Amino acid sequence: MARKSAPQPTASTRDRILDAAVLRFARHSYEETKLRDIASDVGVDVAYVHRCFGSKQHLFAEALTATTQFDRILASAGDDLAGALARKIVTRNAAANANEVEPLDIVIRSLCSAEATDVMRKFMLRDVIGPISRKLDDSATRRAALITAFLAGVSTFRNVLRVEELRQAKGGELEKMIAKAIKWMIGEDTTAETGLSAT
C-alpha cells in the first residue's frame, strides 16, 4: 500500500512531492496540510510545489487518486467482501506510524473541508462506491454507498476522533462485528428481519 517508497535512481522531484503530499493528507486535514510542510519534507521550495501542481486543490486531487486502488482490495477479497473490508478497517494499528496509506485515510481526514469536498465526492463515487457496487450482484449502488459511509464513519471514529471503544481489537471481536454489519448490509433485501424490536 506504500506508494513507490523506494525512490528510483531517478524519482522525479514531482513524484517525490506527490508522495510527501499523500502522506501529509493522510495524516492531517486539508487545512492543516500546508504546502510549505510538503515542500520541506522533500527539501524544495514552496513555490516549486505550487508550480508543479498548479494549486493546492490540484495537488490534493492527485494525492487522492494516487492513493487507493480500492478495486485491488476488492479483487483479492474473493467472495468474502465483508470480511475483507472489515479487516482493512481494523488492521492498521500495527503499522501505525509506518509510511503506509490506507484507502480511506485521505478521505476521512478531510471529510469536512469544503474546498476538498467536490474533489472527493467524485473520487468516492468513481473509486470506492463504484467498485463495491460492481462487486454486489445487481445495481445496488445505494447499498454500496451505505456500506462506504459506514466504513468512513467507523474509520473516522477510530483514527480521527480516536474513540477508544472502536480501537481495542480484543479477540477480533470488533472486526467480527464490522464484518457482520457489512455482510448484513450486503444481504439487505427489504425482507430480512433480525433485530430486537419490531418496527
Partner DNA sequence: CCAGGTAGTCAACAACGGTTGATATAGATC
Partner DNA sequence: GATCTATATCAACCGTTGTTGACTACCTGG
Q: Which spans of this chain sit near its own copies (rule: CB under 8 A)? A: 28-32, 79-83, 108-114, 117, 120-121, 124-125, 129, 141-146, 148-154, 156-157, 160-163, 165-166, 173-174, 176-188, 190, 192-199
CA neighbor of 89 nearest in space, from 3, 165, 39, 152: 152
Return all residues near 74 (Cβ < 8 A) that are at least 6 apart.
81, 84, 131, 132, 135
CB nearer to its own copies: give 75 or 149: 149
The answer to whether 14 contacts DNA (rule: CB under 7 A) is yes
CA distance 154 to 58: 28
Site string for DNA, 21-50 (x = CB under 7 A): ------------xxxx------xxxxxx-x
Torsion of CA 14, 21, 117, 34, to 10 degrees: -110
The minimum distance between CB 94 and its own copies, in angstroms, equals 20
Among 13, 65, 69, 141, binds DNA (CB under 7 A): 13
| Cα angle value 112/85/4 (rounded, 5°) | 75
Q: Which does 13 bind (CB under 5 to 8 A by kind): DNA, its own copies, none?
A: DNA
| Location of C-alpha cell 478495486 | 71
User: Smallest distance, Å, CB 114 to its own copies?
Assistant: 6
In angstroms, the CA 23 to CA 2 distance is: 9
Between 66 and 86, whose beta carbon lies closer to its own copies? 86
Contact footprint for DNA (CB under 7 A): 12-14, 33-36, 43-48, 50-51, 55-57
